Amino acid sequence: MSKKRSEFFNEIGGCPASMWHGWMRQAVRQAFRGGSDAVYLPDYDGPNVMILFGGGETNLCNLHHRELAQHIAGYLWSKHRVMSALEPVAAVTDAISMGHSYEHEPRLSAMGYSLFSREMFASSVVQQVEINCADAVIIITGCDKTVAGGMLAASWLKDLPVVLLHGGTIRAGCSVTGRKIEIETANEAAGMLAAGKIDQEEHDDILVNSLPSPGGCGVMATSNTMAVLSSTLGIAVFASASTPAMDPDHMSILREKLEEGEQAAETLLTMVAESRTLSDVVDERSFANAATMLHAIGGSTNAVIHLPAIAEGFGITFGQEEIQSKSDTPVLLNLLPNGKYVMVDLYEKAGGLLPFACYMVDQGLIDSTARTVAGGSLGDLLVDVQAPEFEDPENEVIRSVEAPVKPKSSLCIVRKDESSTTQTSIAPKGSVFKLNAGQRSFEGPARVFDHESEAVEAVLSGNVREGDAIVLRYQGVSVGCPELLRLTAALSGMGSDSSIAVVTDGRLSGVSRGTLVVHVEPEAWRGGPIALIEEGDTIRLDGDEESLTVQVGMEEMQTRAERWVRPEIELPRGPMRMASQIVRPLEEGAIWWPRS
| Residues with catalytic function | 509
Chain centroid to Cα 457, Å, comes to 28
Contact predicate 365/296, CB 8 Å: yes
Q: How many residues in total does the chain contain? A: 596
Contact predicate 291/220, CB 8 Å: no
- For residues 12, 139, 317, 326, the Cα torsion angle rounded to the nearest 10 degrees is 170
d(CA 313, CA 155): 5
Q: What are the φ and ψ backbone dihedral angles of 503, each rounded to 5 degrees?
A: -125, 125
Q: What are the φ and ψ backbone dihedral angles of 556, each rounded to 5 degrees?
A: -65, -40
Which alpha helices (DSSP H) does 392-442 contain, by range? none
Nearest C-alpha neighbor of 107 from the set 526, 537, 568 = 568
d(CA 506, CA 582): 18
Burial of 276 (0-12, 13-18, 19+ CB in 10 A): middle
d(CA 522, CA 537): 19
Under 8 Å CB-to-CB from 569, ≥6 apart: which residues? 105, 107, 108, 479
Nearest C-alpha neighbor of 520 from the set 581, 588, 429 = 429
Contact predicate 338/294, CB 8 Å: no
54, 122, 123, 141 from 90: Cα distances, Å: 6, 10, 11, 12
**Three-state SS across 279-324?**
HHCCCHHHHHHHHHHHHHCCCCCCHHHHHHHHHHHHCCCCCHHHHH
Q: What are the φ and ψ backbone dihedral angles of 266, each rounded to 5 degrees?
A: -65, -40
Longest dimension (CA), the chain: 82
Which alpha helices (DSSP H) does 195-302 contain, by range? 200-209, 222-233, 255-273, 284-296
Q: Residue 428: which H helix or E strand, with range? A: none
The number of helices, as runs of H, and strands, as runs of E, in the chain is 20, 17
**Three-state SS across 312-376?**
HHHCCCCCHHHHHCCCCCCECECECCCCCECHHHHHHHHCCHHHHHHHHHHCCCCCCCCECCCCC
DSSP state of 568: P
Asked whether the bond before 522 is cis by omega within 30 degrees of 0, the reply is: yes
Contact predicate 163/267, CB 8 Å: yes
Under 8 Å CB-to-CB from 26, ≥6 apart: which residues? none
